[in-house]
Structure formats: structure tokens, C-alpha cells
Chains A and B, each alone.
Chain A
Amino acid sequence: MLNTNPIWKVVLVIFVVAICALYASPNLYGEDPAVQISAARGATVETQTLDRVKQVLDAEGVEYKRLSLEDNQIELRLNDSDQQLPVRELVAEALGDRFVVALNLAPATPSWLESVGAGPMKLGLDLRGGVHFLMEVDMGAAVAKSEEQMVQDFRSDLREEGIRYKGIRQRSQGGVELRFRDEDGRDNGTRVLQRKYPNLVFTDTDSDTDTIVTMSEQKLKETRDYAVQQNITIIRNRVNELGVAEPLVQRQGADRIVVELPGVQDTARAKEILGATATLEFRMQDTKGDVAAAVAGRAVPGSRLFNDRDGRPVLLKNRVILTGDHIVGAQSGFDEYSRPQVNISLDGKGGNKMAASTKDAVGQPMATVFIEYKPTGKRDADGRPIFDKHEEVVNVATIQARLGRSFRITGIDSQAEAHNLALVLRAGALIAPIQIVEERTVGPSMGAENIQRGLTSIIYGLGATVAFMLFYYRGFGLVANVALVMNLVLIVGVMSMLPGATLSLPGIAGIVLTIGTAVDANVLIFERIREELRAGRSVQQSIHMGYSNALSSIADANITTFITAVILFSIGSGPVKGFALTLAIGLATSMFTAIVGTRLVVNSVWGGRRLEKLPI
């Protein structure tokens, strides 16, 4: 008999719809106001931290919904959003500055749903409010700094080899110019340098004594990558200071960095913090001075008291051996016994200073101090922001030999710590400047308003379409409407399941548009069925022919639109991408519901039996 449903198809449709409905359901639960606690640089969140928070909350009699430790973060869910600010103050004070306490909205998904990996859709900044920055790393400056470094390196290398030269200088148009006394000198010099720096390109000029050195493509790329990577590391650290719950810091293209800070309203303060400076100092430890006396407040001549990250006092000499702007690079790795270490390279000047200071200090401990200027949020009389100087000893290591331009710190406890130390060293090093090239802020009221408007237009659009279909196609219109609602559930379910998908305002527009076009497939099919009925075919024949004849039109039309959506997604940016994503998902789900879904219902209601008329 025509138009009956095979069991597997019934099972398939029910299965797909049920899964999507399940994953779409967390969107119905809304969000809990929450406070999120994560570790600042160097610290870790442990069960003791959790206990401490619990203790403070109990002592103050604060009521809360849930307190949990997961992925190195503590999440404290509250009953009321009015509690958020006071509780944050309370917890921040109790934990000190080793932890970052941030306000957050945590999805109130029930735990049984969470356990199958379900969660609500991620909302874009235009719907939840926040700041979006696009920053550009000044590559010209990064390359110039690298070339400056080359000049110093060449000088010391040639001196070591005993090759005499007339001059080495950075050219204004890029590259480094080497001038020798004669042709022999040039040949010798380039040979030596070429061997040492295979990544550089040496080009002889027309004059017999000069040569121009430029970076190879490979080296240029490395330099750029390093500059971007370094800036990303630093921005991540700073963003943590801001106490933003779910920040995004991401490289975009060759020389740009995207920073998204949901919930942040005060862009001025965000910019100050992102632009805050950090530096490093190397100092000798004062091993003879009396630490206890210094802690008690008595001055130790020639030395000053610092704290390490656990708050333990360390007495360091006043004289700074070297500052961070001489650091060119820092990488964590392993020594020959597979113990973690950090390799540090300095510029030529820094190397000389380091060598001079450590010549007579072999066997003595040297400390690395990290200094950060954090904005306090206050301003002085001239309106300039006031910064808080924050110093911390990040490492103390014993000097094993006279140090030069590159040296290493060993005796580090773990790989993670070596990695951290390298990060800190890089953060304090001289960096390529960045500037903001795009900035977008959406206030929280605007975000809520956008959600409201999006929902309203979905409801109006859906309502009008449903009414029309019911009026025009009656029984079959009802089936199309069921498919339309299913389609919405499927879109939301798929959006919630895709890890990278974010719903934005243009995305909502995409969903609304999908409602309009999703009925198109059903209109095509129903019109075709009517035609077949008019042509005098039997009811079952008409249903069968209607569906199969309309199929190629529907497929062709949707595939071409899908091509547009894919192109939009891959080339477009921001709003265009968000729109393309929901459009593409909507096309796929509407094909499924309009063809497979409605057929299933039509078959089970009208299919497989003798009928004289169809309600269409």
C-alpha cells in the first residue's frame, strides 16, 4: 500500500527530535547569579580554598544555592542578583589577591542535563552586553627591535672572531647594513655570520665592502608570531585581573588579537588594565642580612624586603642587576637530565651587564622580581589614572657560572612552574606595541532589549505564518505548523550542541528568516499535491507524487542557499557570520522537518487507506 511509514523512519524521526529537544531544554531554565573564583598567576584553587570560602559565607550567614569546585574554579551560585556585589567583596577580601573573584551568570541547567553534556546556547556580546576589542600588534616595531638586536649581536660576534669592520647600522628602510674595510673582511665576516645565523639573508651591495642583512621569510614569520604570542600571553594575564567570567583572547589573522569581555561595561577601566605595564628586575639576594630584623621593621642597609608569591619574606639587595627590557626571549624546556628549566636570552647590552654583575657572584643566589602597575581605578588631580606598584619575587636561583647573553634557570620543581616562569619573564620583557583598531560595547540593558526584540519578532513571525498556513491548507497546514515548531526546536538544539556556536542578534534574524522560508518546502509539496488531485489522480497517488515531484526543486533551492550561507560564514565577519550560521543550520533542519517530518505525519494520518478527499 502507498504512503505507509517504515518502522525505522518513525524511530529515526522520533530519535532526532527527542535528542534535539533534550539538548534545547537547558535554554528554558534561565541563569543563576553567581560568583566565580579562579586562581591568579601562580596560585591554584584547592579544596582548602573551597573550605575557606564556605567558612566565610557561613560566618557571615550568607545563603547560597550551590558551591562547587570544578576545572580549577570555584562556582558559587546565589539566590538573588543583589547578593552578587557584596558577596564578591566579602570573598575577595577573605582570599586576598592570589585569587580572582568575578561576577558571572551561570546557567541554571539541572544536573541530570549537565551530566549528558547539555547546556544553553552561548549568547553573543550584542545579547548579553560586554566589550569587544580588536587589537593590532605593531609589526614594524617588532621587526625593528629584532634588527636592533641583530646589530648588537653582529658587533660582538665579529669582535670575538677578530674580524675588523667599519660600521654596522640599522637601515631606515629595513635591514642591517654591514660595512667592512675591504673585500676580504667582508667575505670572512659574512661567512662567519652566515654560519651562525642561517635564518638571515646576506646580500652584497655594488660596493665591494658592504653587505645588507635581512631576515628570511621564515625568520620574519617567527618574529611576528612571537610578538603576537607574547602580547596574547600578557593580555590574558591582564584580563584575569579584570575578573571577567568568560573572557576570550584569540589571535585573528597575522597580526591581530580579538579580546571579548562579556559583562564589562567600563571600557575606560578595561583599556587601562589591558594597557598596564609590567616589568622584571634581577637582583642579588642578601644572604648575610637579617631577614627577621627586616620583617620586624628594622632597616637593613643596602637591602630591601620583598615577598614571594606565598607571602614569605625575601631580603634582596637594592642594586638592580638588570631590568626586563633587556630580555629578548624566554622558553621553558628540559635540561640534559630531563629536569624542567627556563632558557632566557638577553640583548647585547643586557648580556654585558649580566656578565659584569655575575662574574664575582658565582655560587650566590639571584632573584627574579616581577613588577606590575595595576590601575586602582582612582584618578589624581590631573585626571590621570593612579597605578599601584605590585612587586613579587617569582624565583630565586643560585648562579652556577658567569652569565652571558643567554643563560638558564634550573632547579625548578615542575614543568608547569617552568612554563609559568617563562610566561612571567616574557610578560615583563620588552614587547611590540599594540593599538586598538576596533571596539564595540553593548550595555547590559541594550543586550536584554535585543533579546526581547528578537523574541518578539520570532513570536509575531511565527504566529502570522502559523495562522496563514492553517487558513490556507487546513489539515495539511496544521501538519506544516507542527513541522515549523519542530524546526525551531531542532535549530535551538543544534545551536546548543555545537560547541563553537554563538547566538547573536543577526543570528536571531537568521532564525526568523528561516521560519519564513521553511514553509516554502511545504508550500511546494502541498501545491504539487493539489495539482495532482486536480489532474484526477487518486488521493494516495497524489500524496506520493506530490512529495516525490517536489523533492528535486526543494533540494536544489536549499543547496544553492546553503552555498551562500557557507560563503558568508567563511568570508564574513562578526554579524555576517552569526547570521550565516543560523541560516545554514535552519536550512538543514527545515529540510528534515518539512520533508521527512511532515511525510511521517501525513502518512500516519491520511496514508495507506481509501480516501475520497484530502483536507488540503
Chain B
Amino acid sequence: MFQILKLDSDINFMRWRGPAGIFSIILVIASLALVGVRGLNMGLDFTGGTLVELEFSKSVVASDIRAVLDQEGFESATVQAYGSSTDMLVRLPPVEQASAETLNNKITQVLKTQMDDQVVIKRTEFVGPVVGKELMESALLAMVVALICILIYVAFRFEWRLGAGAVAALFHDVSLIFGFYALSQLEFNLTTVAGVLSVIGYSLNDTIVVFDRIRENFRKVRKQAEIAITNASLTQTLSRTLITSFTTLVVLFALYFAGGELLATFSASLIVGVVVGSYSSIYIATTTALGLGLTRESLIPEEIEKEGADQQPML
């Protein structure tokens, strides 16, 4: 049998919970500060504006396009090479409604006549400023509602201290991803939000597996202290955590490199999230639950009954 870990005794994870907690608090504060100071590089979905992605038939220089657009009155246009020297991305900030509707058509017309008559439009996007604001609001709402529903479910299924631990871990993960986006200035758009939300799902998955084992061991092992049982549970689930993180990361890197630019930002948020999420389910989620006074008694129901014990096994 091939094993990543051959462990004879439990790893004393909780020995480092003090330093790990301080480390995480510093990271979270630093991330939030970064978001506050540098801000996120908000994509078109949220800011509103116009975007045109073009493929030229020959190699072009971004500054030439900018010069042509400048001349035609699009002073605020930004041009950037996108992947190769024939792919260009032109962006315009939101403007007054009346003219905005046809901006992408005008830009293409100008570039067609003045630069390259074989230019191909790969993608255009126009988002009105009002819609951008609404998309942002609905994205934020989705995140908050998701966190609340998860808290309720975990509190109902396990215990409120574990619920609070899970949400603390999620808050930690989401903050760090935001920090990552503020630091790297990668574009933050609707797809990124989907990425952040799947990190919530993934990290939670990890946390629940750990909690499940802690609950099981608390019920089974009567003699040891809480800390020792927690260490044992974390050790038992460690190889699973590593394997799943590994397979998920492999798949995410496939998306990052082969999925194209549109999916790259999405997978980047998930890659960060998977690493951070595995760490937080060990240190943030359990430490918080223990810190809130999780004891054996809180996990043992008055009437001890293993779920489904009175039923025929389904599988």
C-alpha cells in the first residue's frame, strides 16, 4: 500500500495553534488593509463601461492603436495586448447612455478603416453603470446569504461553536482571496465571484470532514483531553485532506493553463482558496471552536444514538 504519510503517532497540531492564530490574524488584517489601500481591480461587470476584444490579421503595437483611437476622440481608451501580439483588448470607462450603446461598433469601425481591414471582433461587452452596480450588489448578497445559510446548517447539524468555527474559517479564506486579488491586481469580475463562492464550498467541505471526525472521536474516546482528541482527529483526516487538495489543485491548474484567459482568473482564486482552505480547516475552524469552549459534553447528545443505527445499512 502506497501512503503519503506513515504516521505512528498523532501530530501535535494544537501545539502551534497560538502562533498560527496570530499569523492568520495578521494575514487577515493585512489582506483587508490591502483591499482598503490598493483596492480591487474591478472588471467591467462591476464598473460598467465598454470592452472590445479584437484579433488583428498581423502583429500590432498597443500604442499605435491608442494613437488612432486618441485621434478619433476616444481619449480615455486603454489598449492592452491579450495573450499574443495580434490579440488586443480595448476598454472604455462608462459614459453617458446615449452614445455608449454604439461605442463598440464605432471603435471597430475606426480600427477597421485605419488599422487593419481584416480585424475580427472576438468579443464585445457593454455594461451600463446602473447594471454594474446591481451586479455587484447581487454578488455581495450571494456571498453574505451563503455564509449565513452555512452557519445555520452547521449549527443545526453539529453545534453552534463548530458553526462559528466554520464561518470564522470561511471569513479567513475569503479575506485572504480578496487580499490576493488586491495584491496581484488580477481582474475581479462576476466569474471571480463564482470562484470565491466555490472556495467557500470547498473550504467548508474540508472543515466539515474534520468536524465530523472530531465529533466521532469525542463520542468514542472517553479518556483523553479535548486537545489530544482534536490532534488525533486532524492526524486521521490529514492524508485525505492532502490527497483531495492535490487532485483539486491538479484539475485547477489544468483549467488555469488550458482554459483560456476567461477562466484563468477564476481558477486563480480557487487555487489560492484550496491552499488557504486546507490550512484554515485545521487551524482556524478547530481553534475557534475550542476557543469558544467546545467540550466533549457539547457534542454528546443527551440520548446517545448513532445516526442511522436503528436502520438497515443503506449501502
Contacts and interface: CB of A to CB of B under 8 A. Distances in A.
Interface of A: 126, 134, 136, 265, 267-268, 271, 435-443, 445-446, 449-450, 453-454, 456-457, 460-461, 464-465, 468-469, 471-472, 474, 505-506, 508-509, 512-513, 515-517, 519-520, 523-524, 527, 530-531, 544, 547-549, 551-553, 556-561, 563-565, 567-568, 571-576, 579-580, 583, 595-596, 599, 616
Interface string B136-153: 001101100110011001
Interface in B270-308: 270, 307
A439 B126 contact: yes
B21 interface: no
B47 to A, nearest CB: 13
A593 to B, nearest CB: 13
B123 A442 contact: yes
Interface stretch (B32-40, B60-68, B99-107, B221-229): B99-107
Interface string B83-121: 000000000000001000110110000000000000011
B114 to A, nearest CB: 15
B80 interface: no
Contact of A450 (B55, B128, B260): B260
Given A506-B266, A516-B252, A437 B130 contact: yes
A267 B194 contact: no
B247 A568 contact: no
13 contacts: A435-B97, A437-B130, A439-B127, A457-B258, A461-B255, A468-B246, A468-B250, A512-B255, A516-B248, A552-B307, A563-B150, A571-B141, A575-B190
A449 B194 CA distance: 22
A616 B3 CA distance: 10
A576 B1 CA distance: 41
A265 B240 CA distance: 49
B244 A548 contact: no
A595 B197 CA distance: 25
A572 B146 CA distance: 11
Contacts of B149: 563, 567
Interface string B155-184: 001000000000000000000000000000
Contacts of A544: 313
Given A268-B102, A450-B262, A509-B266, 19 more contacts: A435-B97, A454-B259, A456-B259, A464-B247, A468-B250, A471-B2, A509-B267, A513-B198, A513-B248, A520-B244, A552-B212, A556-B208, A560-B205, A561-B201, A563-B150, A567-B142, A567-B146, A576-B194, A596-B315
B139 A440 contact: no
B234 interface: no
A377 B125 CA distance: 23
B251 interface: yes
A515 B251 contact: yes
Nearest to A565: B201
Nearest to A598: B315
Contacts, number: 232
B79 interface: no
B133 to A, nearest CB: 11
B200 interface: yes
Residue of A443, A453, A553 ringed by the most chain B CB atoms within 10 A: A553
Given A438-B126, A441-B123, A457 B154 contact: no
A469 B123 CA distance: 39
Given A572-B142, A575-B190, A557 B205 contact: yes
A571 B150 contact: no
Nearest to A435: B97
Nearest to A467: B250
B131 A559 contact: no
B41 to A, nearest CB: 18
A523 B246 CA distance: 11
Contacts of A527: 239-240, 243
B260 A449 contact: yes
B204 interface: yes
Given A437-B131, A564-B197, A571-B138, A453 B101 contact: no
Tell me the dominant secondary structure on chain B's binding face. Answer: helix
B78 interface: no
Contacts of B191: 506, 575-576, 579
Contacts of A524: 209, 240
B105 A268 contact: yes
Contacts of A134: 131
Contacts of B249: 516
B104 A468 contact: no
Contacts of B157: 556
B120 A506 contact: no
A557 B142 contact: no
A256 to B, nearest CB: 9
B81 interface: no
A564 B150 contact: yes
A461 B212 contact: no
Contacts of B3: 530
5 cross-chain pairs, A with B, having the tightest CB-CB distances, nearest first: A437-B128, A516-B251, A460-B254, A516-B248, A461-B251
B24 interface: no
B251 A513 contact: yes
A513 B255 CA distance: 9
Given A437-B130, A512-B254, A563-B153, A517 B202 contact: yes
A519 B102 CA distance: 48
B20 interface: no
Contacts of A596: 315
Contact of A439 (B101, B255, B315): B101
B10 to A, nearest CB: 13
Contact of A440 (B101, B124, B209, B255): B124
B261 to A, nearest CB: 9
A441 B124 contact: yes
A440 B157 CA distance: 43
B186 interface: no
Given A436-B101, A438-B131, A450-B260, A561 B250 contact: no
A500 to B, nearest CB: 19
A506 B270 CA distance: 13
A11 to B, nearest CB: 16
A530 B244 contact: no
B167 to A, nearest CB: 11
Contacts of A474: 2
Nearest to A256: B131
Nearest to B109: A268
B138 A446 contact: no
Contacts of A271: 101-102, 105
Most buried by A among B130, B194, B197, B205: B194
Given A438-B128, A440-B124, A468-B247, A568 B194 contact: yes
A468 B313 CA distance: 31
A166 B314 CA distance: 83
Nearest to A616: B1
Nearest to B210: A553
